[in-house]
Chains A and B, each alone.
Chain A
Amino acid sequence: MTPSPRRHLRDSVVLGGAVGLFGVTFGVLATTSGLTVPQTCAMSLLVFTGASQFAAVGVVAAGGAAASAVATALLLGARNGAYALTVAHLLPRSVLGRLAGAQLIIDESTAMALAQADERFARQALWATGIAVYVFWNLGTVVGALAGDVIGDPTTIGLDAAFPAGFVTFVMPHVKQRPGLVAALLGGAVAVLAVPFTPAGAPVLLAGVGAVAGMVMVVRSGSVDPPGVSS
C-alpha cells in the first residue's frame, strides 16, 4: 500500500464501519444464545476481540461449561499478545500510554499498521483503526443485541449453523500459509476424534494443544518453514 496523506485514515474508518456490521451479528447471536443485553454490551466493551467473544458465546449456546467458554476465549485471545509484541514499538513510551493502546490491539488495527510503509503512518493507522473499530463494534453490538432480544429461539432460524459457517471466514486468512493450514487441519481432526470420548468443551482445547504440539515437532524436523505473522 502506498502511503498517501489521508488514505490510511479513511481506510481505518471504512474498516471500522464494516466491523460494525459484524458487531450487529455478534449482538444478535449473543442475545439469542441466552446472554442479556447488558451482558452482551459489556462483553464488547471489555473483551473487545471478536473471535474470542463469538467463541465464548458459541460454547455457551452449545451447552458447554463456563470454564471451557473462558478457556477457549482466552486461547483465541492469546494471538493478540503476539500482535502486541509486533506493534509495541508503535505505542507511546509511557506505561500508561502502552496500557491504553493495548486494548486496541486486534486483528484489524495490527493489519492496518503493518500495511503502512512508514512508521508515522503505521502509528496513526494503529490508533485510527483501533478507535474506529472500537466505536463501531460497540455501536453494532447494541443494535444487534436489541434486535436479537426480540428474535427468540435461535435454532428455528438456523442460528446454530451460523456460528460454524461464519467461523469459516475467520479461518480463511490463517490458512494461506502452510503452517496455518496444517494447524487448522490438525485442530479439526483432533476435535472430531475427541467428541465421542471427552466432555463438552474439551475437544476444542485438546485441538489447540494437539495442533501446536504437532507443529513444534514438524518445525523441529525441518520439513516446514516456521510460521510468520500473517495478515
Chain B
Amino acid sequence: MLLLIAAGAYGAKAAGALAGTRVHGQGRLQQLLMLLPPALLTALIAVWTLDGGSRLVLDARAGGVVVGGLAAWFRAPFLVVAAVAAATTALLRLL
C-alpha cells in the first residue's frame, strides 16, 4: 500500500515536471485537478465525522469537529485545531 501511494504521488509530480516544458501555462486538465482537493477534503471531513458503519450518526466526534472547525475558521493552525477537536471529543465521551 505504502509503495503504491509513494509511486503514484511521485508519478503525478514527475509527469507534471516533465510535461511542463511543452504545455506550460494553464490547461483545462490543470484547472480540473485543482478542484479535486476541496471536493475530496470536505468529503473526508464529512465521512470521518458522520460515518457510523454504513449509516450516518451524530456522536462525540461531531462536537469535536464543530469546535475544531470554529478554531480553523478563526485561522488557528492545524496543530491547535486538531488538539482542540480531540480534547472536546474526549470530554464529550467522559460525560
Contacts and interface: CB of A to CB of B under 8 A. Distances in A.
B44 A229 contact: no
A229 B35 CA distance: 9
Contacts of A187: 38-43
Interface size classification for chain B: 35 or more
B45 A192 contact: no
Given A102-B13, A192-B46, A78 B36 contact: yes
A161 B65 contact: yes
Nearest to A201: B47
Q: By DSSP majority rule, is chain B's interface helix, strand, loop, or mixed? A: helix
A14 interface: no
A101 B17 contact: yes
A159 B13 contact: no
Contacts of A158: 60, 64, 85-91, 93
A8 B19 CA distance: 27
A175 interface: yes
Interface residues of A, number: 100
Contacts of B95: none
Chain A facing B: main interface SS: helix
Contacts of B83: 162
A196 B35 contact: no
B79 A62 contact: no
- By Cβ-Cβ distance, the 6 closest A-B pairs, closest first, are A88-B20, A84-B16, A165-B68, A187-B39, A161-B64, A165-B85
Interface of A: 18, 21-22, 24-25, 29, 39, 42-43, 46-49, 51-53, 55-56, 58, 62-63, 66, 69-70, 72-89, 91, 95, 98-99, 101-103, 105, 155-172, 174-175, 179-181, 183-188, 190-192, 195-196, 199-200, 203-204, 207-208, 210-212, 215-216, 226-230
Interface of B: 1-6, 8-10, 12-21, 23-24, 26-51, 53-56, 60-61, 63-65, 67-69, 71-73, 75-79, 81-91, 93
